[in-house]
Every structure is written in C-alpha cells, then in structure tokens.
Amino acid sequence: MKKHVIGGIVAGALLALASLSAQAQDAIKFGVADEPYPPFASKDASGKWVGFEMDLMDAVCAEMKAKCELVPVAWEGIIPALQAKKIDVIWASMLITEKRKQIIDFSDKYYDTPHMFIGPKSVKVDTCPETGICKDWMKGKVIGVQISTAHANYAKKAFGDVAEVRTYDKQDNVNADLVAGRVDIVLADAVAMDYFLKTDEGKDFEKKGFAPNDPLYGAGVGAGVRKEDATLKENLNAAIKAVRTNGTYKQINDKYFNFDAYGTTPAS
Amino acid sequence: MAEPSYIELLGYGGPNGWGDDLLWGAWETVQVAACAYAVGIVLGLIGAGAKLAGRRAAFVLSDIYTTVVRSVPELLLIIYIFYRAPVALQALARALGSDSTIDLDPFLAAVAALGFIVGAYTTEVFRGAILAVPSGQMDAAKAIGMSWWLRTRRILLPQMLRYAIPGLGNIWLGTTKEAALVSVVSLNELMNAGKQAAGGTKDYFFFYSIVALCYLVITIASMAVIARLERWSNRGVRRV
Amino acid sequence: MLEAIADLYQQFLSGLPEPAALLIDFVVTLFPKLLEGAFVSIQLLLLSGVVGNLLALPVALARVSRNPLLRVPSYLFILLMRGTPLLVQIYILYYGLGHILGQIPLVRSSFLWRHLDAFWYAAAAFALNTAGYSGEILRGAILAVPHGEIDAARAFGMSKGLILRRVILPQAIRISLPTFSGETIALLKATAIASTITVYELLRVTNEAYAASYRFDECYISAAIVYIALSYVLTRAFYFAERQINKDRMPPRVLKVARPLESARA
C-alpha cells in the first residue's frame, strides 16, 4: 500500500511541478548554446554568461521592455527545444540559412562576420578563390567543424568528396582536436577563431583563408523564433533596429571588437 | 602564472577551484537519478500489472514498451524523449481538455526520459517478483473474503518486495550510471561540470578521472545501502 | 530491372499527397546511410565483443584465484568498470589519454597517429568495459559448475590446466550463455555512446541526418527501428546458439501421435 501512496504522490508532484513551470510564462526564454563560444557567449568564473551576444541580448530586452530569461541548451538540440517551447528565441550565433528558414523563422540579422579556416602554422596551405582552400590541397585531409552549422554544410558541399569532414558537438571540442592533431584544418566563424588564435592553445595556429560567400551560408546571424510567433519576431526586429540606431550597438561592438560586427565579409 | 596544484584545482570556489562545480554536479546527478528511479518504479508497477492482468491488449502494450527500451540505446531514447516529451505531454493535455502550455524544464524532461527507460526494467523485476509469491496465499486471502485492494496491499506487495529488492538494487546502480548520459542534453550535472572543468583547464585526464571517482563513490555507497536492504528484507526467512 | 522498381516507386510517390511523398522519399533515402552507420556499429560491437570477452577470461580466473595478488587487482578492475559510466570511461580514453598521447612528440609525429582515430579509442573503452562485466559473469558461472565434476576430474588425475580447459570452462560458458546474450545486446546499445566522440556509427549518422534535414522524428525513429531490428537478429542468434549448446539437456520430444508398431502387421 505504501508503494501505491508514495507512487501516487510522486506522480502527482511531478505533474504539479510541470504545471507550475507553466505559470512562469511572462519571461521570454532566450536559448543560448550550452558551450563556451567566446567572445560571443561564454561563462565567466562566477558562472555568469558574458560576451558580445549577451550584452546585445540585454540591450534588446531593455528595448522590448520584456523580462528575459537565459536558458542554455545543447547546440544540436536547440531547434527542437524551440519547437518544443522550451525556449522562445534562439540567440546562439545561428546563421540565417534557407534550410533553417524552412522550419523556423528569423529576426533581422544582428551580426555578420566572415568564415575562416585555421590550421597549424607549420603547414603550408594553398588558397583558391572559389572554395577558400584549394580542393587539391584538401585531398585526404580531415576538416573539423561543429555539427549542425552552416560551416559543416559548406565543408561537406565543397570538400565532402575529397576530404573527411568530421563533426563535433561543441566548437570547443573541434579546437581541442585541432590542437591534438586529429584534424588538419578547422572552418568556423572568423571572430570566434580569432579569439582562439590569441589564446595559449591557439598560438601554434594561424588563419589560412576565408570561405567564399556561398548561398549555403545565408545572410548573417539572427534570432530564431517559431514560425507562429510573428509578434515576437516583430518586437525583436524593432528592438534590434532601435539598438542599432540609438548607438547602443556601437557601444557594445566597440567593447569587444575593433571592426563593425554588423558588416559584411572582408575582401580577402 | 604558476600552474595551480591539483589540490587547488579541486578547491572550493575561487578562480581555479572546480571542486564546488563538481559537487553541485554530483548532487544534480543524484537528484535526476533519484527522481527518474521513482518515476521508473511507478511505471514498473503499472507495466507489471498490465502484463499480469490477463488482458491481451494491456500485455501487448507493456511488451512493446519493454522490448523497445531493451533494444534501443538509452542515448537515443533520452535524446528523443527529452526533445519530444513536452510535445507529447501537450497532446495529452489537449486530449484531456486542458489548454495550457505545459512547460517542462530540462530537469523534468531529463527525469521523464530516464524514468521511461528505468520503468521498462522495473517492469520485468516486478513481474518476476509478483510471480514468485506463492499463489496459494492470494487464493487463501480471496477465500476469506479480502477485497482486491486489501489482498494486494497486505499479502502481495510486502512479500513481493523481498524478491524485488535485489533486482531493484541493480536497476538503481544502472540508473546512476545512465544519469551520465543526460549530459548530452546539457543538464547541469556531474559529467557536464567535469567537461567544463576539463575544457577550461585542458587537464582532461585529471578531471574526467575525478568524475569517474565521484560515480564510483556513488556506486559504492549505493551498494552498501542495497546490501543492508537485502538483509533487512530477508529477515526471518530460513536460510536453505 | 532496377529501373522498373525505380519507376514503380516514382509512380507510387506521385499518387500520394505531397507531404506524405516527401516523407517516404526522405526515409527511403535515409536508410542506406543508416545502414552504413549500422555497419560501423556492428564492427565496433564485434571488435570490442571479441577482445573484451577474451580479456574476460584472465580477469575471471584471477578473480577466483586463491592468490590475493591476482584476486585484489581483478576485483578492483571489475569494480572500476562496473562502477563508472561507460560515457566517462570513453571520455577518459579519448580526451584524457588522447590528449596525453598527443603531447608526446614521438607518438604525435608517427604515422600511426593519423590512423588512431576515435573508432579505436571507442573499441578500447568498450573492450575494457566488457572485460569487466563479462569477467564478473564468467566468475559466477565458474563457481556454479557442479563441484562433483571437478572432483571426478581430479580423481582421474587431470592436471589443473586440463581440468580448466575441459571441464570448467565449457560448463561455465554454457551456464553463462543466457546472461551473456543480454550483455551483448547491452554492448550493441552501448555502441551508440561512441557517437559522442565522433565515431560514425548509427547514432552519429542519425544526428548528422537530422542536422542536414531538421526532420527530428523521421531520423530518430528510423534509427530506433534499425536498432530494434539488429537487436532482434542478435537475440535470435543467441537463442539458436543456446539451443545448440544445450542439445544434450533438452527434454525429450513427445510423440504427437501414438502409432502401432510397424512390425505388428498381422
């Protein structure tokens, strides 16, 4: 008997907890990738999320006059999390691509940075304009990318038939395997890679080239929302625009970078 | 900067002290495992009941449940249930007539996923345990006019417990280890704490070994408790 | 012939409403990729299963030995393997040991390093883990061999090694076969954990298929189906093996029809 009673209490408690969490609907849940991605988003020593994207998020929320809650979610599952309403906005350096637009909607872009290859200083790499790095050089090499990113898609499209494209769940692990010598070259966001190259670990590596503006790459980084959340998207767009025009964007931008993160890909 | 010593790395608080993160992670892990275990017990009782009730439909449903969980990797089940449970619960709520959006925080979703898995294993344990109780006892109870509820509560369940405890103990040990898999859906538990510490300091071997040690401690402590429980449940039983 | 099938398939698809056709087409093109991944899973299963179970033998023997120098380390090894999650073990090997090996210039520049990819780390972790679990199972089975047989063998003057080889082990394997089949299914499920360290087995292929298509249910449910199928095949194989091994112990088959003896022809 005790088992039944206890079992009943447990089940009841779980359902109660579930519905209790349903009450806290006022805050907009911003989903961030649960991994360090400096300088855009990472946890500092005290466990607080800091970075360019975090400051921008605070500014946008202030503009929207809404209460915002930060929810870290595994990058691979961030879109299912949005669909399951675990989060309301994806604010995780997600590129606006056609593929993604088929299932979710995006706000206007809030930054746009180029895509860079990095590799060991000691290895010479040939660059070609069509694909960034020459396909001939890529033969038999291992390219490290993060899974479910436009970088992964581009790498597979451009080099999938000659090189091994190895996907990792976190960008951190890609970098770790680059250092360990398991991958020959890495394709990722230029700014994030720049940050990595300046760290102790990245000192033996350098930029090798840029990926061209392939249509796979879409048009900059935006906030992901569910297709039915049109008002949320409007509010986000308005807030982003406001932040751009009233100078807050520039303030945050200059705190982290000496170039305009909103811009477009560089010439070289 | 001087290399922090290993003692410092495990310290509490401070810029280099990952000890508190690891402890918090261990606590989260135990919580997830315990809640999932509770859910699993409830599901197991229901599942065993379905298999023994004599109705074909219930048996088949329960059989599909145990077969799927037994054949499909836990990792896949956890990923699927974690991301789809809110949607499923939503549909359930809709069907029951409610209109609210059910919002499962990561902890509850992880508990649901892990509990679902544990439930299949406990189903088999309870089924075997219930079958092991001599049926003559239930017949005698029926003969003297006890209701089904009274019979189950006072004759079946207490005796079934003695047969179930070893199996349930093993399942608990398995649950604590499967809890490591929820790190893939980024809960703030021990494995992830270890990953952060290892990633931050690049000292992978050290921190993952510490994580292993934590799990070992949990396992050994659990084993001691289970042995105690087994001895308690077998009190008064004549040793063959 | 193949074109005819492809034609029929296209006709079938065009007859369906668009979403259903897209779905079926997606799943059909998904399966070959899944099967490739499943092939890697099976390779992992076979390699770590065989190596792990071979290792289980010395582990089990050490565990039952009277010599504490053998017994204690094997007990600790089994405790370690069974007391810690497989995920942690894999991480320790791939990230921990891998990082350490990567620091050693001699290993790093050798030609082996390129080929030492995640598959081998995963196989090593699984093999060790299997050695622990199977070692414990085998130990129980060895202890369960009827002591009378061992006594009889000794009475015959068989040496220890001979007794082990011809009496204890065959019986122990027979006794442990059912549990062992459960362990192998568990190993199949465990291969999915290798997906976390970039091994291209079934679950990882599924993750990638999802990342490329964003079709969550289709990908993961298809993968589940493949696992169920593999698991079923393994279970039947073991069932068959059990029947074969226990042929001498099966209950006699009962004649279904009582027939008068042929010779009673009068």
Go through the domains of chain B in sequence order and give each one's CATH number. 6-233 (1.10.3720.10)
Neighbouring C-beta atoms of residue C42, cutoff 10 Å: 17
What does the pLDDT average to over B133-148? 86
Chains that touch C (3 or more CB pairs under 8 A): A, B
Q: Is C89 on the interface with B (CB under 8 A)?
A: yes
In this structure, are residues B116 and B81 in contact, taking their beta carbons and an 8 Å threshold? yes
Kindly determine whether residue B45 and residue A3, on different chains, have CB atoms separated by under 8 Å.
yes
In this structure, are residues B45 and B126 in contact, taking their beta carbons and an 8 Å threshold? yes
Question: What is the pLDDT, as a whole number, of residue B153?
Answer: 85
CA distance B135 to chain C (A): 26
Q: How many domains does chain C have?
A: 1
Q: Which residue of A has its CA nearest to C94?
A: A177
Question: What is the pLDDT, as a whole number, of residue B85?
Answer: 81
Kindly determine whether residue C211 and residue A167, on different chains, have CB atoms separated by under 8 Å.
yes
CA distance B6 to chain A (A): 18
Kindly determine whether residue B153 and residue A84, on different chains, have CB atoms separated by under 8 Å.
no
CA distance A9 to chain B (A): 10
What is the average pLDDT value for chain C, to the nearest integer?
86
- Is residue C259 one of the residues assigned to a domain? no
Provide the token pair at A76.
């691979």
Q: Which residue of C has its CA nearest to B194?
A: C88
Does residue C175 register a pLDDT over 80?
A: yes
Residue numbers in A near C211 (CB within 8 A): 76, 147-148, 152, 167
pTM comes to 0.84
- Is residue C33 one of the residues assigned to a domain? yes
* Amino acid, single-letter form, for residue C227: Y
Which of C117, C207, C212 has the CB atom closest to A182's CB atom?
A: C117
CA distance A176 to chain C (A): 9
Helices (H) and strands (E) in chain A, counts: 10, 14
Question: What is the pLDDT, as a whole number, of residue C10?
Answer: 81
Domain of residue C165 covers: 19-245
Interface test mutation site (partner A, options B31, B103, B195, max chain A beta carbons within 10 A): B103
What does the pLDDT average to over A44-59? 85
What does the pLDDT average to over A133-138? 85
Question: What is the pLDDT, as a whole number, of residue C72?
Answer: 93
What is the average pLDDT value for chain A, to the nearest integer?
83
Bigger pLDDT: B65 or A247?
B65
What does the pLDDT average to over A83-107? 88
Kindly determine whether residue B75 and residue C185, on different chains, have CB atoms separated by under 8 Å.
no
Which of A1, A21, A169 has the CB atom closest to B104's CB atom?
A: A21
Residue numbers in B near A172 (CB within 8 A): 199
Q: How confident is the model at residue C97 (pLDDT cuts 50, 70, 90)?
A: confident
CA distance B223 to chain C (A): 10
Provide the token pair at B20.
């508190």
- Is residue C191 one of the residues assigned to a domain? yes
Q: How confident is the model at residue A268 (pLDDT cuts 50, 70, 90)?
A: very low
Which of B42, B84, B111 has the CB atom closest to A84's CB atom?
A: B84
Does residue A16 register a pLDDT over 70?
A: no
Question: What is the pLDDT, as a whole number, of residue C65?
Answer: 85
Question: What is the pLDDT, as a whole number, of residue A23?
Answer: 43
Q: Which residue of B has its CA nearest to C206?
A: B76
Does residue B208 register a pLDDT over 70?
A: yes
Kindly determine whether residue C98 and residue A166, on different chains, have CB atoms separated by under 8 Å.
no
Does residue B114 register a pLDDT over 60?
A: yes
Bigger pLDDT: B116 or C13?
B116
Return the CATH number at C171: 1.10.3720.10
Kindly determine whether residue A74 and residue B41, on different chains, have CB atoms separated by under 8 Å.
no
Q: Which helix (H) or strand (E) holds A72?
A: strand A68-73
- Is residue C132 one of the residues assigned to a domain? yes
Q: Which residue of A has its CA nearest to B44?
A: A7
Does residue C23 register a pLDDT over 70?
A: yes
- Is residue C200 one of the residues assigned to a domain? yes
Residue numbers in C near B178 (CB within 8 A): 85
Does residue B7 register a pLDDT over 50?
A: yes
Q: Pairing mode, if any, of strands A221-225 and A132-133? A: unpaired
What is the average pLDDT value for chain B, to the nearest integer?
85
Q: How confident is the model at residue B8 (pLDDT cuts 50, 70, 90)?
A: low
Q: How confident is the model at residue A265 (pLDDT cuts 50, 70, 90)?
A: very low
- Is residue C165 one of the residues assigned to a domain? yes
Q: Which residues 7-66 in chain C show a CB within 8 A of chain B? A: none
The C-alpha atoms of residue A174 and residue C22 are separated, in whole angstroms, by 34
Kindly determine whether residue B75 and residue C193, on different chains, have CB atoms separated by under 8 Å.
yes
Kindly determine whether residue A11 and residue B84, on different chains, have CB atoms separated by under 8 Å.
no
ipTM metric: 0.86
Q: Is A150 helix (H, G, I), strand (E, B) or coil?
A: helix
For B192-204, write each residue's pLDDT tens digit: 888 888 877 778 8
Question: What is the pLDDT, as a whole number, of residue C242?
Answer: 85
Which of C95, C203, C217 has the CB atom closest to B75's CB atom?
A: C203
CB neighbour list of residue B2: distance below 8 Å, 6 or more residues apart: none
Question: What is the pLDDT, as a whole number, of residue A24?
Answer: 45
What does the pLDDT average to over C200-207? 92
Q: Is A157 on the interface with C (CB under 8 A)?
A: no
Does residue A171 register a pLDDT over 80?
A: yes
Q: Is B130 helix (H, G, I), strand (E, B) or coil?
A: helix
* Amino acid, single-letter form, for residue A28: I
Question: What is the pLDDT, as a whole number, of residue B99?
Answer: 62
For A71-88, write each residue's pLDDT tens digit: 888 888 899 888 888 889
Bigger pLDDT: A114 or C254?
A114
Question: Percent of chain A beyond pLDDT 70?
Answer: 88
Chains that touch B (3 or more CB pairs under 8 A): A, C
Residue-range domains of chain A with CATH: 25-112+219-256 (3.40.190.10), 115-217 (3.40.190.10)
User: What residues of chain A have any CB closer than 8 angstroms to a CB in chain B?
Assistant: 1, 3-4, 6-7, 10-11, 14, 17-19, 21-22, 24-25, 34, 36, 43, 45, 71-74, 77, 80-81, 83-86, 169, 172, 176, 201
Kindly determine whether residue B42 and residue A84, on different chains, have CB atoms separated by under 8 Å.
no
**Chains A, B: CB contacts under 8 A, how many?**
84
- Is residue C120 one of the residues assigned to a domain? yes
For A189-234, write each residue's pLDDT tens digit: 888 888 888 888 888 888 888 888 888 888 888 899 998 888 889 9
Bigger pLDDT: C127 or B99?
C127
